[in-house]
Amino acid sequence: MSNQVIYMIMGFSVAAIVIIGIVYYILSQKMQKSEYKNIQKLQRGTKTSGFSTEVLFQKLYLTYSRIPFLKRYILKLRRRLEILNIDDEYATRRDSAKIITKALVIVLPLLIITIIVTKSNYLLMFILIMFEIFMIDLLIEGSVDKKDDELLIQQLDFFSEIRHAYHEFNMVEEAIYQVSQDDEKEVSRQGEKIYDILISDDPETELEKYYDVAPNNFLKEFAGLSYLTKEFGDRKVDGASLYLKNVDNITQEMQIEILKRDKLNYVFRSLSFISIAPVMLLEPLRTWAVSNFSFVRNWYYGKSGMIVQILILLITFVSYVLVRKLKDNGAVNMNTKNIENPWQSKVYKNKFAKKIVDLFIPKEGTKEYKNVKDLLKDAASPLKMEWVYVNRICLAIVTFIASLFIFMYLHHVAIDYEYTQPTTDYNLMSGMSAKDEKKAMELTKQDNVFLDMFRGKIKTTQDDIQKAVERSKFYKDATDDEIKTATERIYDKLQVVNSEYLKWFEILLACVFAIVGYMSQIWLLMFQSKMRQLEMEDEVMQFQTIILMLMRIERINVEMILEWLERYSNIFKSQITKCVNNYEAGAWEALEEMKNEISYVPLIRIVESMQAAVEKIPIKDAFDELDSEREYYRDKRKESNERLIKRKGMIGKVIGFAPMVCLFVGYLIIPLVFIGLTSMSSTMSSMSSTSFK
C-alpha cells in the first residue's frame, strides 16, 4: 500500500472523528430546545436509564428535517408512514428516521469511496453518484412497501380475531375494541380508530374522514361494513351472520391481494436494480476493452464513445422510471389526495411565470384540454393541469440547456483527446509497452506545440505546418519523409481541433431534444394509463365483491352501492363520480349515461343490473348471479391476477434489461467487432502494399 493511500485513509479517519464530534455537540445543544422537551414528554413513563434508540431516532428525525436534501425524503416518507401510523406522530417520526438512517448507512460510505476513487474522472463520478441517489430511492420505497405488506398480513389475524370476539360480545364496536388492545401491532391503531368512529356522535362524518386516510381499501370496506351493521343491525343468511360472512369475503380478497403482491415483488425484486446497474459497468468495461484491445482506445476515449455513454445513461434513467411506474401501478395503498407539489405551486403563483405557463395551457372547452384532462384521470395522476404544464416547460428548458452543455462537453472531449492521448499506430494483436507509451507521449507533446501555434486559424494549410515543422528544434536532423509524416499527422489533428465548436445544427438538435422533453410528461401519463388498463379486470372483480357484501344488507340501495364503488374505484372513478353526481336528477338516465361512457363489457353488465334494481326488481335479485357463481368469480380473479402478473413481468423484463443489452451490445460488442474488422482490413491493405513494393 502506497504512502499516499495511507495518508488518505488517515485523513479520512480524522475527518470522520471531527464530524462525529461536531454532530454530537450540535445534538447535545439541541437537547435543550423545546422540541426535544416535547419528545421527552412523549417518552415519559417509558424512559430507561441506559441508551435509548427511540430517543435517538426522534433526535435524528429533527436533524434530517433541517437538511435540504434529506428534507425531501423525510416529507415523502411522512406522507406514507402517517397513513400507516394513523394519529401516532411519535411512531411516524421514529419510522421515518429509521428508514432514512438505514439508507444513509448504506449509501454514505459508497458516496465517500466514489468521490475518493473517481476524483480525476468527473463523468464517472456523476454516473456513480446518480446510481447512489437511485439506490436511496429504492431503499426507502422498499422499506415502506415492506411495512405496508406487514400491515396487510396483520389484518388477516386481526379479522380472524374479530370473528371470535364478535361471537363472544355480539356487538361490532365491542369486538373491535377487544381485538385492538394489542399496542405492538400497527393494525391495532387502525382498529382503535375505527372503534372511535363507531362510538362518536357523528360516525358518518368521521367515517368519511377515515376513508381519506385509510392505508388500504380492505380497512375502508371493514370500517364501512362495521358502521352499516351497527346502524342497521346484523341478520342471518343461510344460518350464518351476514357481518361475519362479509368479513370472510374481505379476508379472501386480502389473501388474493397478498399473493398478488408477493408474486409482483418476486418478479420485480431485482428489475429496478438491473435497470440501473449498467451505469456501474461503463468504466470497468471501457478499461477492460482498452487494456485487451488497444485498437479501440481511440473510440472509447473519443467523442463516439462518450455519445454512447450518454445514450446508455438516458436509456437507464427512462428504464428505471418505467419499471417503477409499472410495479407501483394499481397499488391499493395509492393515495393521491395528500400528495403535494410545492415547487410547481410556487412557480405557478409567480405572476411572470403564470403568464408564460398560461400561454401553453389549452383553453377550456378545446379538444386538447379535454384530452389532457382525460389523460390525467386515466392515469390516476394527482397533478393539476397547471402543474403538468409547469413540469413540461421546465423539462423543455432543462433539456435544451443540458443538450447544449453536452454538445460543448463532447467538443471538449474530442479536443482533449488530441492533446492528451499517445501518438502512435496501434497493433491489432497487442498494446504498447511502457517504453513505447513514454515515447508516444513525448511525440504528443511535440505535436501540441504546433497545435497551439495554429489553433483557431481555419485557413492553415499543410505547407504552413511543414514550414513550422522544418524550423522547429524537434526536427532539425529529420529526413524529408519524417517531416512529411509529422506534417500530415499534425494537420489531421489540427483539422479535428479547429472543427470542434458549437454548430448551428447542434442548436437545432437541442431544440428537438427540448420538444422531446416537453412531450415526455404526456408520454409518461400515457404509459401509466396503458398500464392501468391491465388492472381493469381486477377492479371490476373488486366491484363484484363489494356488491356481493352489500346486496343483502337491509336498506341498501343503488345510490349507496354507487357511492361505495366510487370510494374504491381507481380506473373507472371519473365515470362513477359523474353518475353519483347526476343520480338525483334521474337514476336510470345517470346509469345509462355511465354505460355509454364505458367500453368494458363486465362493468356494463353491472350497470345494467343496477338499472334493473332501480325500476324493476330488488337489489339481491338483480345481482343473484354474483351469489350463485361466487366460487367461479373468485377463481376467475385468481387466474386474472396470474395473467396480469405474467404480462407485467414480461413488459418489466423487456424494459429493465434494455440498458444492460444496450451496454453489452452497443458499448462493447459492436465497437470491438466493427473497429476490429476495420483495423484488420487496414492492416491487410498496408501489408499488401508493402509486399507489392
Distances from the Cα of 575 to the Cα of 331, 374, 445, 545, 641, angstroms = 20, 11, 73, 19, 24
The whole-number pLDDT of residue 401 equals: 92
Q: Report the pLDDT value the prediction gives residue 515, as an integer from 0 to 100.
A: 93
Q: What band does 322 get if pLDDT is binned at 50, 70 and 90? A: confident
CA nearest 517: which of 359, 375, 405, 399? 399
For the chain, the average pLDDT equals 79
161-185 pLDDT per residue, tens: 998 888 888 888 888 988 888 767 7
CA distance 135 to 99: 13
pLDDT digits (tens, 9 = 90+) for 13-29: 556 666 666 665 665 55
Burial class (CB in 10 A: 0-12, 13-18, 19+), 468: middle
Three-class DSSP category at 237: strand
How confident is the model over 592-601, as a mean pLDDT? 83
307: Cα within 13 Å, side-chain hemisphere: 10
Q: Which amino acid does the sequence have at 532? A: R
What is the rounded CA–CA span in Å between residue 533 and residue 418?
53
265 CB-near residues (< 8 Å, 6+ apart): 145, 149
In this structure, the number of other CB atoms found within 10 A of the CB of residue 7 comes to 10
> How far is Cα 209 from Cα 197, in angstroms, rounded to an integer?
10
**Residue 576 · residue 594 · CB < 8 Å:** yes
Helices (H), 293-433: 297-300, 303-328, 342-349, 351-360, 367-378, 385-420
Does residue 34 surpass a pLDDT of 50?
Answer: no
Over residues 362-383, the pLDDT tens digits come to 888 888 888 888 888 777 777 8
Rounded Cα–Cα distance for residues 73 and 97 (Å): 10
pLDDT top residue among 197 and 531: 197
Cα dist from 175 to 457, 459, 643, whole Å: 90, 93, 38
Q: Which of 53-57, 491-495, 683-687 has the highest mean pLDDT?
A: 491-495
Rg of the chain over Cα atoms, rounded to whole angstroms, equals 34
Each residue of 117-131: pLDDT tens digit? 677 667 667 777 877
Q: Which of these ranges, 89-103, 267-281, 418-432, 485-499, has the smallest mean pLDDT?
A: 418-432
pLDDT value for 11: 59
Percent of the chain at pLDDT exceeding 70 = 85
| pTM for this model (two decimals) | 0.70
- Would you say residue 450 has pLDDT above 50? yes
Strand partners, 237: 240
